[in-house]
Chain A
Amino acid sequence: MALPFPYTYFACPCTETTSFSSTTDPYSTEPAGGAAEDEESTFHSQSPRANYALYPLEHLLYCEDCHQIRCPRCWVEEIMTWYCPSCLFEYANSMVKSDGNRCTRSCFNCPLCMSNLSIVGQNEETDKAQEGSHPLDKGQQATGPYFLHCPYCSWSSVEIGIQFDKGKEIYDQLQRIKNGGRVVMSQKDKEREQLKLRRQVSRGSISQFEEPETPKATEKESYPPDDRDLFANLNAFYKSQILESTGGSALGGAFGALSDYGISSPGTLSRIMSMYGSNLGPKRGKDKPAPMREAQSEMEGVRLTKDNDEEKIVESMQQMGWDATTSQEQRREHPDNMDATLVSDLRPVPTLLRTKRSKRCRTCRHILVRPEPKVASTRYKIRLLALNYIPSLRLRPLTAPAALGTGTPTSSVTASSIASSVSLDAIPPARSLSLLLTVHNPLFDPIKVTLATPSLTPPLRPNAPASRSRVTILCPQFEVGASGDVWDEALDVGAKESREKSIKDAAAALESNASGQKQAEAGKVWERGRNWTSVVLEVLPGVVNSPVPTARFAGEDANVLEIPLYVRIEYETETGPGEGASAVERAAGGIKERKEQRELEYWCVLGVGRIAQTA
């Protein structure tokens, strides 16, 4: 994972419902099954499965009704808005249903490199060039013909013989032009053509598979129908077949309703029916329906491979070389390009639409995130971020004296600029390392935090017990003050005193630090602020040997020191007016009645750094 050290990932509790037993852990040195299955089992940060459970805190949401963390596995998404990422045009749902999930205006991606294509106008008359524009201009002033041009790799629609008359509505224009510049027949013409052909074929009866020797045949040969036509033909063919076979027989009529139930293989159905139908009674024999046949010609939707087709492809590949062939990614980009063998067969890819989505809790269906539907707006109507509900954990090595006293954790942006005597990319093995873990409380109630960690981290390599690091939390239980307005604290006298005290403490800490004497003590917190508390972790990193090339699991992260940490928080909070007891009861019962005890527990993984490898 790509976060810089040190990082903290949070495991969504929903992963506990799927078994995290040691049987799924290839690194486990413990015997499988049994004890590992129960509640005592710890989170295996090195398990391949952990990759699917761990998230940075800002990726997680929190359901206020379930009082639980929610991750992408336990929320459902609902599409609110479709929009084109390039022109930011919003598409109505109905348009997406009818026209598909691509931009139908003028946004295209390069079929070679997937960069956005620009529309380039070419001025025919040179004297008009004065008021024209540069070809790489977006084409507002340029005059036709127009081309699509990739500003990155210089692919242009010239290569596939396509140019446009207008600089707008390129999608519609492109629909009508085939590679090579041939204009596609309109739907009406197409239907008329097919009707004519079908009549011819039915007249020709048996000889239908032979190529009719009309001039049309040669035309067809040079321009084979595209996939859409073929599919339409195939669809029409099977419809007619179903109609014939069901409508033509009494049995088919009786079971004709079956086809309405979506039994999509009428061939098999009618075959089975005729099989059993013949056993039903002798009278059925006479008007036994003509068995359904399969499509057999292009007109019926089958593309017939000609003998020399592949030879042609091989030949052109030999001539044009590797660069003229398409890659898997290029073909996957759009259905039109799936059969494209050569670069010259590719078509520009209309830009895929993106969506804005709202998110619901899978369990209680409450909305967790609801953005404003407008594309331009980045605001949210509802946004229940986990980081506003669960304490965040920050880790940093306790060796940089400059950062002491201020108590502010290092920022991710300036992390590199802050001097640190320990390089987290090469932690010396088997040498004790002190880390400072800061717990921030976002809640408006003080929380009681209990931390736990397995005394040995999971092994980084199978059968390498030496790679396990020993972790000790010096103060596993502590309290973190409530979050709130900074001014609350200033106005509150008691808090003021405590603040003064904390300032004094900080000053004392600074002084002691100046003499280099501040020592981490077991059972005592290191430092405390208004809504944060830091404690010290002692880590004895394991020893990691240089990866053996043949080792199965010696991946690039096989020397990352990660500490699984179990966090449990308890706090008392006031329930809302709608919840709990009635007003009278509340008045009678006093303050305690309105308070509700809550607890939350989850696993985290603290990524400390990389252990320096020994040869």
Chain B
Amino acid sequence: MSRPSAGNRKSTAGRSIKGEYIETDTGNKVSRRAKIEGTPNIMLAGRTVIMADVHLRGDLHRTADSATSSSNTTISMGKYTVIATGCTIHPPSRLSRGIMHFYPVKIGDHVYIGPECHVSSISIASHVHIGPRCVLGPFSIVKENVRILDGAVVPQGMVIPPGVVVGGSPARVVGEVPEGWGASGRAGETVEGGELRELVRSIRG
């Protein structure tokens, strides 16, 4: 499947005219009230939901003189990923070989980011559930099947191993997700860490 950038969304929009969400050909649902900078640098894999008042800083890309000038993607999101209201995604920056760079934020499939979170991670794997009001510090890495409890503050550079529950400020591992993480969803329902198909489908208008 092709991965058209959100930049095309305005031209392909038009399925829904007055609703809250603009739906693209690949099924991305982007709220009209989301505040998106640098749309050409944001890649949505399809069936991704971006809710109202989400700030995406796609303008903070790697500068042209860097080696990877071919792609300027700053924020990429996988399928069935949901960014809830009031989130901020701000790519982190640091020096590399004496030059300051922004680093892209990569978010996997079936990731739910709760309301009012701040994300500066470089990588969030798939099937991650992030509760409301979390702060994910610069260069943090979140592996697969992770649950981040409400209000957790993940410090800069922290690596969250697969299959754990983290919480607190600063965040630390407080437990493990059960073997059945994300697997308890029956047809037509959504559970934390599971597939978010139904949730994405249920968001309309």
Question: How far in angstroms is the closest Cβ of chain B from A417?
Answer: 8
Q: Does A599 sit at the interface, judged by CB under 8 A?
A: no
The closest CB in chain A to the CB of B157 belongs to A118
Q: Does A365 sit at the interface, judged by CB under 8 A?
A: no
Q: Which residues from A are CB-within-8-Å of B188? A: 406, 408-409
B199 pairs with A413, CB closer than 8 A:
yes
- Distance in angstroms between the alpha carbons of A150 and B16 in the assembled complex: 49
**Cβ contacts B94-113/A at 8 Å (1 or 0 each):** 11111000000000000010
Number of residue pairs across A and B with beta carbons under 8 Å?
A: 125
A131 pairs with B179, CB closer than 8 A:
no
Name the contact of A408 in the complex, choosing from B96, B179, B189, B192 (C-beta under 8 A): B189
Select the stretch in A136-144, A299-307, A308-316, A449-457 that faces chain B. A136-144
Q: Which residues from A are CB-within-8-Å of B180? A: 57-60, 385-387
Q: Does A603 sit at the interface, judged by CB under 8 A?
A: no
Name the contact of A136 in the complex, choosing from B156, B170, B181 (C-beta under 8 A): B156
A115 pairs with B179, CB closer than 8 A:
no
Q: Which residues from A are CB-within-8-Å of B187? A: 486
Q: Which residues from B are CB-within-8-Å of A412? A: 190-192
B161 pairs with A354, CB closer than 8 A:
yes
Q: Does A340 sit at the interface, judged by CB under 8 A?
A: no
Knowing A131-B98, A133-B95, A375-B161, say if A413 contacts B190 (CB, 8 Å): yes
**Cβ contacts A137-168/B at 8 Å (1 or 0 each):** 11001000000001111000000000000000
B145 pairs with A378, CB closer than 8 A:
yes
**Cβ contacts B149-182/A at 8 Å (1 or 0 each):** 0000101111111111000001011000011110
B179 pairs with A58, CB closer than 8 A:
yes
Q: Which residues from B are CB-within-8-Å of A359? A: 179
B199 pairs with A414, CB closer than 8 A:
yes
Q: Which residues from B are CB-within-8-Å of A153? A: 170
The closest CB in chain A to the CB of B145 belongs to A378
Select the stretch in A83-91, A227-235, A251-259 that faces chain B. A83-91
Q: Which residues from B are CB-within-8-Å of A57? A: 180, 184
Q: Which residues from A are CB-within-8-Å of B94? A: 133-134, 136-137
The closest CB in chain B to the CB of A376 belongs to B162
Q: Which residues from B are CB-within-8-Å of A594? A: none
**Cβ contacts B64-96/A at 8 Å (1 or 0 each):** 000000000000000000000000000000111
Name the contact of A115 in the complex, choosing from B144, B145, B155, B186 (C-beta under 8 A): B155
- Distance in angstroms between the alpha carbons of A600 and B180 in the assembled complex: 20
Q: Does B46 sit at the interface, judged by CB under 8 A?
A: no
Q: Which residues from B are CB-within-8-Å of A408? A: 188-189, 198
- Distance in angstroms between the alpha carbons of A410 and B199 in the assembled complex: 10
A137 pairs with B95, CB closer than 8 A:
yes
A88 pairs with B190, CB closer than 8 A:
no
Q: Does A380 sit at the interface, judged by CB under 8 A?
A: yes
Name the contact of B98 in the complex, choosing from A118, A132, A150 (C-beta under 8 A): A132
Q: Does B202 sit at the interface, judged by CB under 8 A?
A: yes
Question: How far in angstroms is the closest Cβ of chain A from B80?
Answer: 12
Knowing A131-B97, A151-B157, A412-B191, say if A378 contacts B179 (CB, 8 Å): no
B161 pairs with A85, CB closer than 8 A:
yes
- Distance in angstroms between the alpha carbons of A138 and B137 in the assembled complex: 14
Question: How far in angstroms is the closest Cβ of chain A from B87?
Answer: 15
Q: Does A559 sit at the interface, judged by CB under 8 A?
A: no
Q: Does B13 sit at the interface, judged by CB under 8 A?
A: no
A130 pairs with B98, CB closer than 8 A:
yes
Question: How far in angstroms is the closest Cβ of chain A from B20?
Answer: 13
Knowing A85-B161, A88-B159, A378-B144, say if A413 contacts B98 (CB, 8 Å): no
The closest CB in chain B to the CB of A417 belongs to B202
Name the contact of A152 in the complex, choosing from B112, B170, B186 (C-beta under 8 A): B170
The closest CB in chain A to the CB of B166 belongs to A85
A141 pairs with B186, CB closer than 8 A:
no
Q: Does A606 sit at the interface, judged by CB under 8 A?
A: no
A440 pairs with B162, CB closer than 8 A:
no
Question: How far in angstroms is the closest Cβ of chain B from A494?
Answer: 21
A378 pairs with B190, CB closer than 8 A:
no
A151 pairs with B137, CB closer than 8 A:
yes
A369 pairs with B179, CB closer than 8 A:
yes
Question: How far in angstroms is the closest Cβ of chain A from B91?
Answer: 16
Q: Which residues from B are CB-within-8-Å of A378? A: 144-145, 162-163
Knowing A354-B161, A375-B162, A532-B186, say if A133 contacts B98 (CB, 8 Å): yes
Kindly identify, within residues 530 to 566 of chain A, every residue whose CB is under 8 Å from any CB belonging to chain B: 532
Q: Which residues from A are CB-within-8-Å of B160? A: 85
Name the contact of A83 in the complex, choosing from B161, B183, B191 (C-beta under 8 A): B161
Q: Which residues from B are CB-within-8-Å of A517? A: none
Q: Which residues from B are CB-within-8-Å of A137? A: 94-95
The closest CB in chain B to the CB of A134 belongs to B95
Question: How far in angstroms is the closest Cβ of chain A from B97?
Answer: 6
Q: Does A573 sit at the interface, judged by CB under 8 A?
A: no
B157 pairs with A138, CB closer than 8 A:
yes
Name the contact of B183 in the complex, choosing from A88, A113, A387, A413 (C-beta under 8 A): A387
Kindly identify, within residues 109 to 162 of chain B, every residue whose CB is under 8 Å from any CB belonging to chain A: 112, 137, 139, 144-145, 153, 155-162
Q: Which residues from B are CB-within-8-Å of A392? A: 184, 186
Knowing A151-B157, A413-B192, say if A383 contacts B179 (CB, 8 Å): yes
The closest CB in chain B to the CB of A369 belongs to B179
Name the contact of B202 in the complex, choosing from A83, A141, A414 (C-beta under 8 A): A414
Knowing A132-B98, A134-B95, say if A411 contacts B190 (CB, 8 Å): yes
Name the contact of B97 in the complex, choosing from A141, A354, A387 (C-beta under 8 A): A141
- Distance in angstroms between the alpha carbons of A89 and B170 in the assembled complex: 23
Kindly identify, within residues 406 to 455 of chain A, every residue whose CB is under 8 Å from any CB belonging to chain B: 406, 408-414, 440
B residues whose Cβ falls under 8 Å from a Cβ of A: 94-98, 112, 137, 139, 144-145, 153, 155-164, 170, 172-173, 178-181, 183-192, 196, 198-199, 202
27 A-B Cβ contacts within 8 A?
A57-B180, A85-B164, A87-B159, A116-B158, A131-B98, A132-B95, A133-B98, A134-B94, A134-B95, A136-B94, A137-B94, A151-B137, A152-B155, A153-B170, A354-B173, A378-B162, A378-B163, A385-B180, A386-B180, A387-B180, A409-B186, A409-B188, A412-B190, A413-B192, A413-B199, A414-B202, A440-B186
A residues whose Cβ falls under 8 Å from a Cβ of B: 56-61, 83, 85-88, 113-116, 118, 130-134, 136-138, 141, 150-153, 354, 359, 369, 375-376, 378, 380, 383, 385-387, 392, 394, 406, 408-414, 440, 486, 532
Closest 10 CB pairs of A and B: A58-B180, A411-B190, A151-B156, A115-B170, A408-B188, A59-B178, A85-B161, A152-B155, A152-B170, A115-B155
Q: Apart from A410-B189, A413-B191, A440-B186, what are 5 other A-B pairs with CB-CB below 8 Å?
A: A57-B180, A57-B184, A137-B95, A411-B190, A412-B190
